[in-house]
Each structure stands twice: as C-alpha cells, then as structure tokens.
Structure 1
Amino acid sequence: MLDWFRRAAPEAKASAAGPVVAFHGAGRAAWSGRDLGSLTRVGFTSNPVGFRCVKLIAEAAAAVPFALEEDGARMEVHPVLDLMARPNGGQGAGELMEAFYGQILLSGNGYLEAVAGEAAPLELHVLRSDRMRVLPGPDGWPVGYEYAVGAKKHRFAAEAVCHVRAWHPTDDHYGLSPMQAAAQAVDVHNAASKWSKALLDNAARPSGAIVYTSVDGAGVLGAEQYERVKSELEGQHQGAANAGRPMLLEGGLDWKPMGFSPSDMEFQKTKEAAAREIALAFGVPPMLLGLPGDATYANYAEANRAFYRLTVLPLVGKVAGALTQWMPGMGRARLRADFDQVPALALEREAQWRRIADADFLTEDEKRAMLGLAPRSTG
C-alpha cells in the first residue's frame, strides 16, 4: 500500500493559469479618524464651516461675563470675581474662557486647573483635552487625572481639576463633542471642496475626449504619438492658467467635449447641505454663517437671539454651574451668566425691566430681587 502511494503522481490543480474573474462592489466610503487629533485637523483647521462654528460659539460664550449671587442678591466684590477677571499672568478672562469653551466643543471635555492658595485658588489654567486621562476609582468616580506631555506625566488630584463634559450616552468619563456628531458631514464637505479644486485645476471644465480616426479606420495611435499628444495636453491646456487657450489638433484628431452630468451638478448642493448639517450639529443658525438657501429666521437679529438662547447661554450656564460646584470658598454664592451684558438680548432684557417696573403690586425691594439686585438700604 505504501509503495502505491509513492508511485502515485503528485496532485495538480486543474488549471494553473486559467482565467480569473474578480467580483467587486462600489467600495466603502472612506471616513476620517474619530480621535481628537483627526477631528481637530479635519473639522477645525481644514474646514471653514467647522472652524467658524467653533470660533463663533467660543468667542460669544467667552464674551458673556459671570455674575455672582448669594440669596438672590448680586455681589459686586468677591475673591472669585477677582480670580475670574484675572485668571493667570499670561491670559485674560476672555482668552482663558475661549480656550476652555473651544476644548469642550472640539473634544466634548474641558479641563480647568486651579493653582491652590491658602484660602482660594491663585490662578486658573486650561489643560488640553488630548493630553488628559481620567483615573477612575473602584466605585467608578474619578480619583485623579493624568496629564501627559510627551514622555512626562503629571497626576492631578480630583479636586484640583474642574472637568466639564458634554453628555455622552455610552461613556461615564468622557463627553461627546459636536464635532464628532458632525464628522460625516465634515468629510462630505471636505471631499466636495477637493472635487471643486480639481475641477478648477482642470480649467474649470469637465473632461473631454480626443478621438483619433486614421485613414484606414484603425483608430490606434502609436506609442510615440500617444505620449506626445498627452504631454502637449498636460503642458499647454490643463490648469487654470491655460483656461480658454485654443487647441490645435492635427489631422485625424477630433475633440469631443463632455458636459456636466447630473451627478456633477449635484456636488455644489451636496456641499451646501453638508455645511448646514455641520451648523446644525453645533447649534449655529446657517444664516449667521452666510450659507445660501436658508430662510428659517425672519432676519439676522432673530437668528442671533436664537443662537444665544439655544446654544451660547446653555453652554455658559453649564460651565457656571460646574465652577460653582467646584470652586472652593463659594458658600451659598453661585455664578451665573450676566444676561444684562449680552447685546443680543438687549431688547428682551429691556422688555423685562419695563414689565417689572410697571408692576404696581410689587414693592421696590421685590422688583429689585426679581432683577437680581440687592434690597435698597433704608434709614
């Protein structure tokens, strides 16, 4: 039996060089990374809509000052107000808070470090979200934070860092950023911009075809002729600098232009729709970004008020509540957004003041309390 196996011919495939048929589909869409570095690079530094949304919200929120209240009365002098006005030696209040709000918008997490003093913090500093890592304890609550810069790592106690995070339905320690929700729209918008740039590089014309017809009807160019025609097209007729230059074709060559297909014509509409989706994820009315085709609001002022009411003030209120909870030495005092210092809400605040002033059934101290003012001193 063993001899029979030794004499048997080795197994061979039926066809070693038979035809191969490859089946493939249209392919999957290529999306950018969803880590903070990729989102910042693709959605902020390389996309004008994402950049403007983040800057618009962060600058508007940083321009809203904080007011300090205790038992319904506004306080004009307090160490916390002095700290918020001058947070550190290298940054003013506006610059610090703009960086803090920007980190929340880009990563969903904002980290504020307090330099401890004897009774109250001496300085406040914004820490980069991509360098911070939450250290959870056995019960799941953070017991500290680790800040890494290259190979160096520094550990903060939990009470030394104010961590403000956007709500995330599936993560207990990190927030979900609007940029991540808008990531697919950002990729579509960037792809449409690259397509438009490629079209401009080709003299803003759709592609065409050069048809060669020989005398004998073969219709085949030689290798040398093909390379010469190709080099002349690339050097003399492609690019924005060669737009409109006439093309001189030799005998047998005929230019057949190709018009825009319906899918080509949809690229601009696709880009505008992606821009509106990015603005929607951030809560910015498209009218404020100058996007065409948006008539949701009657005028610019109405869109601006909606922007503050629905996007800016909730963000400022969330940060004010987190600072009140975290800042030592607050007692019963609390931080809130100073609505009277928001120009976009001037008409609403004026109407509120007028309604309260005309309420004859209220005493003067009750009116002042409703407006956040201390009672008038008597005597």
Structure 2
Amino acid sequence: MSIKSKIGEWLGFKSTPLVISGPDELARIFGAEFVTGTGQSVTPLRAMQLAIVFSCVRVLSESMGMLPCRLLKQDGKYKQPAINHKLYELLSIAPNDYMTAQEFWELLMVCLCLRGNFYAYKVCALGEVVELLPLDPSSVTPKLKDDWTVEYQVNFKNGGIKTLSQDEIWHVRLFTLDGLTGLNPVAYARKCIGLGLDTEEHGAKLFKNGAVTSGVLETEESLTDVAFNRLKAEFEENYTGLANTYKPMILEQGLKWKPTALNLEDSQFLETREYQKSEICGLFRVPPHLVAAMDKMTLNNIEHMGMSFVNYSLVPYMTRIESRIRVGLLSEKDRKNHYAKFNAGALLRGDLKTRYESYGKGIQWGWLSPNDCRELEDMNPREGGDIYLTPMNMTTKPEDDSDAKKAS
C-alpha cells in the first residue's frame, strides 16, 4: 500500500464525511435555522435549487476555473515561472489524482459562495506539498488555541473526529468577524433566498391549475352533493392543468364559465421575483446580464459591468486565494521569492478584437514585442520579433543624457 493510500485510509478520504459539525447542522439541531413560508429550511443545497443562486455560483466558479494559475519565482527585478517547483504542477495542472486544476478552482469557489470556507488536506513529502485533497466544509471546525495557533477538528464517517494542525490543512476563507472562520453568504442571506424560494413555490401552485385561477363556474340552480362531486371530479380531470389549457368545455344544468384575471396579490409576485433576482445578484456581486437578467441592460452598461465583474467580483477572490497559497502552501524559505498569480487576461480569450488592440498598443509603446504577443496566442516566435519599439516623441534629449553623466 502506498503512502498516499495509507494517509487516505487513516483520514477516511474514501468515505463520505458525516456532516454533523457544521454551523448549518448545529442551527438545525437547536432550532435556530431559518425556514421559508412553506416550511422548508434554507441550506446551501436548498439555495442552489433557486435558479438565480445556481446561476450566480456557476458564473463565479466557472470564471475562476478558466483562469490559469501559475507559480512564479522572482529574482531581483526579473520573474519567471517556477516550473521546477512541485507546487507549480499542482496549481496549473492537477492538485490531486482525480481532479484537474480547473475543477479544483471551481470547487473552491463553490465552497466560498455557499459556505464561506474551503478546506483541503495537504499531503506533504520532503517538506513540499505534493497533493491537495478537498474536504467537506461542513465537516471541519477550526479552533484558535491559547498559543494563537489553529487546529482543525475534522469529522469523518468511519474515522470519527480527528484533530489536524494548521500545517496539515489549507484554509481559504471569505471576510470574517473573528479572523478565523469566513462568513457564510447563504446563512446571512437566508431570508432573502427564502423569499425567492417561496415566490417560486407560489408561482408553481399558481400555474398548476390554470382553470382555477382564470375563471369560475356559475349557475342559478342548486346542485345535489352527488352532482357537485361528479362535476368537481370531471372538471379537475379534464379542464385543470396546463395540459388541458384551451380545451373546450361541455357544461350542463345552466352552468356558465366566467373568466377572471389574476388578482393583485397573484400578479405582484412576478415583480417580487424580479426584485429577488437583483438582490441575490448583489449578494454574490454578479452583473445581472451574466445570469440572463436583461431588463435594464444596454450595450453601454453591459461593457462596463463586464469590466466591473473582473475588478470587483473576481479580483477580490483571486488576491485572497493568491495570498493563502503563499502563506499556506509555500515554506517560509520559498515564500520570500515565490508567489502565485492568476491570469485574468484569459477572460478575453473569446474577444479577438480587444486582444489584438491591446497587443497593438503594447507593441506601439514598447512594453511588448511581437514575440511576446505570439507567445500569449500560443504561436511560435518569428525571427526578428524580439525587438521592443520606442516612440520617437518619448525618447530623452541627448543633452539630458550628457548632463546626467557629468552629474554622476
């Protein structure tokens, strides 16, 4: 049995963790969990059943997953990819044997959006991290000890509760109130998400029986119990539901069909649903047009919202993860001249016009060479393409150079 297999067996990675130590579970046990008007509790998995929550989490996770993450080494003023470091392969190719780097970053973002925390067990060899194994956030409880070190209690199904040190767990968290545990967005926005779930439930019931909400049956005659029950059964079977919409009715005993419109309460829920969409988009800081909410979108503000999505939605996550990589995955010696960096330029992969315009400006102003641009496009370098141009109107005057030499 390999060392990794022994570690996995000891930690119980092959079994599903028993979710009993998370804040959501504790809230449910003590009755402090928020429930919707239909009596359903608002948990991260239940929140994902709301389409707008699913869309926001998907946009954030897939956007982060498509960004390449590289480990760089800085030597004075120069920096280059640290391809010889073991962590380089983990961050850019595969952090473990069953996940790609893209899948790993997507999972990390899902955990941050729905739980506020992400945990991974660090498999180390010769002082370097060689594998990262994700843990269920609801099965991990961090604790700050008296000596200001952190320990993590991990609850496994077969292995019970095990206490692991800070050197064994990689912890990425959202902003906190205590500096240790990230705030859970779903827990703090349960009423908002619960209202969205309730409006969906109301809409499903509203349109389930189309005939009941669109009209009433009237008659001046009195019906016996037998006739009433027969009419009710026949009407529900043949004329209710969307499948029977616009089906002709056969009425008897002076019955008349009187169409009615939706009342104000039933109509108002449509506006409530739209408001909940914008509120939840604000919770996750996702521009509405990315989740198909195009009501107030124009060509001008879509472009600016796309830029704000990178600057104010993704960059805070990127810098947070980059900092935790440097502090939590690198040794004290390596963190002095090594650091991780996400390439946000990958978001322009499908925008050929913007990329080429940026390359043109970089070559014109001399901070990019043609071969630099070809490398970014995964093209081979060409002969003479390593020249950096300098605009004539940006050069220094010869007399300035001679004065500088005399002064030195």
TM-score by length of 1: 0.76
Query: How far off its partner does 1:116 sit?
Result: 1.2
Match of 1:41 in 2: 45
Maintained 8 Å contact 1:288/1:300:
no
Q: Which of these two proteins has the greater Rg computed from alpha carbons?
A: 1
Matched to 1:94, the amino acid is Q
Equivalent residue for 2:339, pick from 315, 319, 334: 334
Establish whether residue 291 from structure 1 lines up as the match of residue 299 from structure 2: no
SS in 1 for 2:286: coil
Q: Which residue of 2 aligns with 1:318?
A: 320
Give 1:72 shift.
Answer: 4.9
Q: What is the CA-CA distance between 1:207 and the residue it aligns to?
A: 4.4
CA 1:223 to 1:304, structure 2 compared with 1: closer, same or farther past 3 Å? same
Aligned partner (choices 150, 155, 177) of residue 163 of structure 2: 155
Aligned to 1:20: none
Letter of the 1:206 partner, please give it.
T
Q: CA deviation at 1:89?
A: 1.3
Alpha-carbon distance change, 52 to 32 in structure 1, aligned in 2, over 3 angstroms: farther
Aligned Cα root-mean-square deviation (Å): 2.9
Q: Which amino acid aligns with 2:295?
A: G
Separation in structure 2 between the aligned mates of residue 198 and residue 135 of structure 1, nearest angstrom: 46
Q: How far 1:354 moved relative to its partner?
A: 5.3
Q: Could you tell me how far apart the structure 2 residues matched to 1:354 and 1:180 are?
A: 51
- 150-159 or 56-65, larger mean C-alpha shift: 150-159
Rounded to whole Å, the distance in 1 between the matches of 2:329 and 2:346 is 23
Change beyond 3 A, Cα 1:267–1:137: same
Could you tell me whether the CA contact under 8 Å between 1:287 and 1:295 is conserved in 2?
yes
| Structure 2 counterparts to residues 189-338 of structure 1, below 5 A | 189-203=196-210, 206-214=213-221, 220-295=222-297, 298=300, 300-329=302-331, 330-332=334-336, 333-338=338-343
Give per-residue Cα distances to partners, 1:306-364, cap 9 Å, x unaligned: 211111122011101011011233231222223444427858965567556358469xx
- For residue 115 of structure 2, the aligned residue among 92, 99, 107 is 107
Give unmatched runs, 5+ long, in structure 1. Answer: 1-27, 215-219, 363-379
Q: Which moved further from structure 2: 133-142 or 235-244? A: 133-142
Match for residue 87 of structure 1?
95
The answer (yes or no) to whether the contact 2:211–2:240 under 8 Å persists in 1 is no
CA distance in 2, matches of 1:195, 1:235: 22
Tell me the secondary structure at the aligned position of residue 49 of structure 1.
helix
Instruction: From 44, 57, 80, give the equivalent of 1:75.
Output: 80
Q: Kindly tell me: are residues 282 and 353 of structure 1, through their superposed partners in 2, closer, same or farther at Cα, counting changes over 3 Å?
A: farther
> For residues 342 and 39 of structure 2, what CA distance do their matches in structure 1 show?
37
Q: In the alignment, what sits opposite 1:55?
A: 58
SS state at 1:176 partner: coil
Which of 181, 184, 190 in structure 2 is aligned with 1:174? 181
* Residue 311 to residue 348, structure 1, CA distance change in 2 (3 Å): farther
Structure 1 residues 65-94: Cα deviation after superposition (integer angstroms, max 9, x where no partner): 224242553222241212323311111111
Q: Is the 8 A contact 1:114 1:125 kept in 2?
A: yes
Name the CA shift for 1:206/1:140 in 2 (closer, same or farther; >3 Å). farther
State the partner residue of 1:121. 129
Q: Offset at 1:124?
A: 1.0
Deviation at 1:111, TM superposition (A): 0.8
State whether residues 36 and 194 of structure 2, in contact with CA within 8 Å, keep that contact through their aligned partners in structure 1.
Answer: no
Q: 2: distance between equivalents of 1:297 and 1:142?
A: 49
Secondary structure in structure 2 of the residue aligned to 1:303:
helix
Offset from partner CA, 1:283-314 (integer Å, 9 cap, x none)? 11001111131227715443322211111122
What residue number does 2:15 align with? Answer: none
Q: 1:204 to 1:267 in 2, by over 3 A?
A: farther
Give, as a single letter, the amino acid of the residue that structure 1 aligns with 2:269. F
1:168-191 alpha-carbon deviations (Å, 9 max, x no partner)? 33x553212333344333323322
